[in-house]
Structure 1
Amino acid sequence: MRETDLDDVFTEFEARTAPTFRPPGVADAARRVRDRRRRRRGLLAGVAALLLAGPGGAYAMAGRDDAPTPPAPDPSASPDDRLVERTVAVPGVPGELRQLQFVDARHGWALFDTCDREDVGSTDCRRDLARTADGGVTWQRTALPAAADEPNLAGPPYLLPLDGRRITVVIGDRYLVSTDGGASFTDHPVSTPPEVIDLALATDSGYSLRCPQDQGVFSGPSCPRPRLVGIGGAPVPVQPPLNLRSESDKQLVEGGDGRLWVTAREGDRLTMAVTDDRAATWRTLPAVAGAARLLVSPDGLDAWLVGISDTSFSATDPNRLWKLVGDRWQEQPGLPDDTSTVAAANGGVLPVTSAYGGGGYWYDKRYVDEPALGGPVRADDESASVQVLPDDTIVVTGQTGTFLGTGSGVDRSWTRLS
């Protein structure tokens, strides 16, 4: 199951040792990872406060309409390099590429902006949106309404895509919504968000965790106990048998098999419940001490617990890992000491990024580097993030570009877009 948590990319590894080099020092690695996560939380805090009514990182944000097969590898790619380089360029569109978000292997959205990054009150800006339907080979400009070019008084724009045709551009105190691939937009104030935003922040089947008094996806006053609701706030038959107090870290995940998972973390213990009949009945699983977050593969067949948390650092060992076998969690050999972010792909594969740069896969109880994410990548901010889309495409996002890994298991073809 994908997470929506995205930030920026890799540190340089030197010369030919880049794909396998790991600087010594577990303590130093842990420190650098903690520092990176603190910076990441600061960057995402404003977006989370604006967009999410429930717990951050728990909602699926893309991929409802279709499930296309991944694009065939570019014939110009070298079998040895395993990396295709593409530039996101749209004729007649000025400005920097500020955001790039894919919803599956073929469909993605790009935002260009001429505003000064450091000046939140920039004027005379121009913002343009573009979309691709072929994995970034070609891009088509979609004209934004004039409201998108108004002064940047409430922070930069933010893309909230639902699929290849429906997208919301969050800017200032309004939402610019297109449901036809960018051919037209409607303008909505923050007080009355349209249903497409509800859908973008819910799971694939349209579930979310929400305060009972909230009329939309945007939080009012905090409530003692959020509730699980369906699209439009419809109540579910039976609430999950967990203590979902407002102060606990909560997570909602839906896998491709239709199972719905709810977790609550208090202190160092993670409790969870799962339903396979659309919340008519629930099954609780044993609580796990030291676990911080649930990962579910896109097909729903694999469930994992990890010690890495995007919201806190109370776990004593953030690199611990468990796999669900039957109805019990079995601890596995841990993730690498320098793990920065981790997600779940199909086939028992966990794509991982490193705090030092690059990334790879945890698979078959061991970690292996992915060469395509190593040597060619140059960055110094240690802010790479990884997610897995509903069609099992791996996305690594960072300062130097967005990397798409299509294929299956650890046999992937990689494309870098910048």
Structure 2
Amino acid sequence: MRENDLDGMFAEFEADAMTSFRPPGVPVAERRVRDRRRRRLLTGVAALLLAGPAGAFVAAGRGADPDPPAPSPTPSVSPTPTGQLPERKVALPGEPGELADLRFVDARHGWALFDTCGPRDPDATGCRRAVGRTTDGGATWQPTAPLADAKGPASMLPIDDRTLTLMDRDGYLVTTDGGAAWSRHPFSAPPPATQRSTVTRSGFLIRCPGQDSLEGRPCPRRELIRVGSGPVRPQPPVALTEETEHRLVESGDGRLWLTVRDGDRLTVLLSADGAASWRRLPAVAGAGRLLVSPDGADAWLVGVREDGFDVAATKQVWRLVGSRWEQRPGLPDNTSDVAAANGGVLAVTSAYGSAGFWTGGHYVDVPELRAALRDDTDASLSVEVLRDDTVVVSTGSAQIMGVDSGVTRTWTLVS
């Protein structure tokens, strides 16, 4: 599920260049998280990321040999002590640097970025980096074609198991063949593969009129467009102004969900015919986020009130039933992030180093995650649900993946 919030993502990427590219969870109202958040700037959202201005990213790359030597990866699965999660180590033998970014597109396919320079030093030079790719859930990793030395941090925008954009100061470095070759593109001319990372699966996007690049420049009014076709006519029956916050989601069933928040009221518009017509759902006061399950069968609103670095314990939940939002029992007060899975389930992380599920109005803890999550006490937890309903809990540079369905899943730590 991709959301499109151009100005928000533009600002987040400027912060990313100074820190890291791991998407944060929702801030939480307790001292440990406040102190942690004050030590780092907010970072960008996954699957939802958008490039900032060229000066915000620093790295360089070059095209690679079109026929690189075939890699011969070996499984890297760590022994599992009793009571701990099975762990898969991300390893690229012979490649430089440490794991800087890790992103999965489904339970089996993912990308990893290794870098000799730290993510918090935009002025670092001579950085050597490498990208790896997995097709077996992280058990083995294959190196892509080599990249040139660079400077400063970089970030990955994956689309699928074959298509990836690596962003740096000079623009976009793109592969569409699983890393066999890379091509360079400036910020002013993003290629189709990079545009796909900022639009819905059918090519819809909210942006300033006449805007060609992907940079989120300010403008008094925005419009809904479809890449390759131009502005949608007629436009959605709602004001898309700089005073309102808006996001666009396309669920797995092809429906479009457009949210507009004005003050403390969130309005959702729904289109089932490719933006030809829209149905306006009732506005909800206190709602902050729309969550839609990968299959599109379930839609939720979650209430969040922010006060500086803190978030008040307002964890309200509404579920869409027909054309009405019905309020349900709230999330736990210490919730740090939440995402929608299939089957009427919300995946939830806690500010105190745990994760579980909210289902039927009740929280169900997952005890086997506690030890793994609490090992990294200085990392903020975040959670997302991938297109195939895989739940991914991120902590630091590691990810814990939960496959299967509902609240009964098999968990694996990938780091």
C-alpha contact (below 8 Å) 1:340/1:354 kept by paired residues: yes
Q: Distance in 2 between matches of 1:327 and 1:312?
A: 34
What are the within-5 Å matches in structure 2 for residues 153-164 of structure 1?
A: 156-164=153-161
Q: What residue number does 2:93 align with?
A: 91
Structure 1 residues 48 and 91, CA gap change in structure 2 (3 angstroms): closer
Query: SS at 1:376's partner residue?
Result: helix
Q: Tell me, in whole angstroms, the C-alpha distance in 2 between the residues paired with 1:349 and 1:390.
A: 15
Cα pair 2:163 2:176 within 8 Å, conserved: yes
Relative to structure 1, is the Cα distance of residues 352 and 247 closer, same or farther in structure 2, using a 3 angstrom cutoff?
same
CA drift at 1:372: 2.8
How far apart in 2 are the matches of 1:233 and 1:41? 37
Query: Which residue, out of 136, 139, 150, partners 2:138?
Result: 136
Question: Contact (CA 8 Å) 2:286, 2:304: kept in 1 or not?
Answer: no
Once the two structures are superposed, residues 115-170 of structure 1 have per-residue CA deviations (whole angstroms, 9 ceiling, x without a partner) of: 14453322222100000001001100012332xx2222xxx100011100010110
The match for 1:218 is: 215
1:313 CA displacement: 8.2
Per-residue deviation, residues 240-272 of structure 1 (Å, max 9, x unmatched): 212221121111111111110101111110011
- In structure 2, what residue type is equivalent to 1:50? A
Counterpart of 2:189, as a letter, is: T
Partners of 1:397 and 1:403 within 8 A in 2 = yes
In 2, Cα distance between equivalents of 1:114 and 1:123 = 10
Question: Structure 1 residues 7 and 171, CA, compared in 2 at 3 Å: closer, same or farther?
Answer: closer
Alignment-derived partner of residue 346 in structure 2: 350
1:44 equivalent in alignment to 2:44:
yes
Change in Cα spacing, 1:340 to 1:180, as seen in structure 2 (3 Å) is same
Kindly indicate whether the alpha-carbon contact (under 8 Å) linking 2:286 and 2:305 is maintained by their aligned counterparts in 1.
no
Cα distance per residue 1:184-227 (max 9 Å; x no partner): 0111111211111111111111111111120132233x222211
- List aligned pairs for 1:12-91, cutoff 5 A: 29-30=29-30, 42-44=42-44, 50-51=51-52, 81=83, 83-91=85-93
Which of residues 256, 261, 277 in structure 1 aligns to 2:257? 261
Distance 1:292 1:375, change over 3 A: same
Q: How many Å separate the matches in 2 of 1:357 and 1:142?
A: 34
Q: Which residue of 1 aligns with 2:112?
A: 110
1:312–1:297 distance in 2 versus 1, CA, 3 Å? farther
Deviates more, 1:386-395 or 1:239-248: 239-248
- Alignment match, 1:381: 378
Q: Match of 2:409? A: 412
C-alpha change, 1:398 and 1:8, in structure 2 (3 Å) is: farther
Paired residues of 1:161 and 1:200 also in contact (CA < 8 A): yes
Q: CA deviation at 1:238?
A: 2.7
Give 1:245-324 correspondences, 5 Å limit. Answer: 245-308=241-304, 318-324=314-320
Of 191-200 and 224-233, deviating more is 224-233
Cα pair 2:290 2:300 within 8 Å, conserved? yes
Summarize deviations over 1:44-83 as a string: whole Å, max 9, x none. 39x967349xxxxxxxxxxxxxxxxxxxxx9x879x9583
From 210, 226, 233, the counterpart of 1:230: 226
- 1: distance between equivalents of 2:164 and 2:100? 16
Q: Give the RMSD, CA atoms, in angstroms.
A: 3.0
Distance 1:277 1:401 in 2: 39
Task: Kindly indicate whether residue 164 of structure 2 is the aligned counterpart of residue 167 of structure 1.
Answer: yes
Conservation of the 8 A alpha-carbon contact between 1:357 and 1:382:
no
CA distance in 2, matches of 1:173, 1:37: 29
Structure 1 position 315, deviation (Å): 8.3
2:228 aligned counterpart, secondary structure: helix
SS for the counterpart of 1:258 is coil
2:184 aligned residue: 187
Task: Return the structure number with greater relative CO, CA threshold 8 A, min gap 6.
Answer: 1
User: Displacement, 1:316?
Assistant: 6.4
SS at match of 1:44: coil
* Structure 1 contact 2–389 (Cα < 8 Å) conserved: no
Q: Structure 2 unaligned runs (5+)?
A: 10-20, 54-76
Measure, in 2, the Cα distance between the counterparts of 1:250 and 1:386: 21
AA of the residue aligned to 1:91:
P
Among 81, 84, 103, the alignment partner of 1:101 is 103
CA distance in 1, matches of 2:156, 2:364: 33
In structure 2, the CA distance between the partners of 1:8 and 1:357, relative to structure 1 (3 Å rule), is farther
SS in 2 for 1:375: helix
**In the aligned structure 2, how far is the partner of 1:315 from the partner of 1:268?**
15
SS at match of 1:323: strand
Residue deviations 1:391-417, cap 9 Å, x none? 101111111611111100111111101
- 1:336 corresponds in structure 2 to 332
With normalisation by structure 1, the TM-score equals 0.81
Kindly provide the amino acid, as one letter, of the partner of residue 202 in structure 1: V
Moved more, 158-167 or 306-315: 306-315
Between the aligned partners of 2:411 and 2:400, the Cα distance in structure 1 is: 7
Residue identity opposite 1:330 in structure 2: E
CA distance in 2, matches of 1:302, 1:316: 26
Q: Scaled by the length of structure 2, what TM-score is found?
A: 0.82
Q: Does 1:360 align with 2:356?
A: yes
> What is the rounded CA distance, in whole Å, between the counterparts of 2:308 and 2:260 in structure 1?
13
Of residues 198-207 and 290-299 in structure 1, the stretch that sits farther from structure 2 once superposed is: 198-207
- Seen in structure 2, the aligned counterparts of structure 1 residues 163 and 182 have a Cα distance that, compared at 3 Å, is same
Write out aligned runs for 1:197-216 (5 A): 197-216=194-213
Which deviates further from its counterpart, 132-141 or 397-406?
Answer: 397-406
Using the alignment, how far apart are the partners of 1:379 and 1:161 within structure 2?
Answer: 26
Q: Is the 8 A contact 2:305 2:312 kept in 1?
A: no
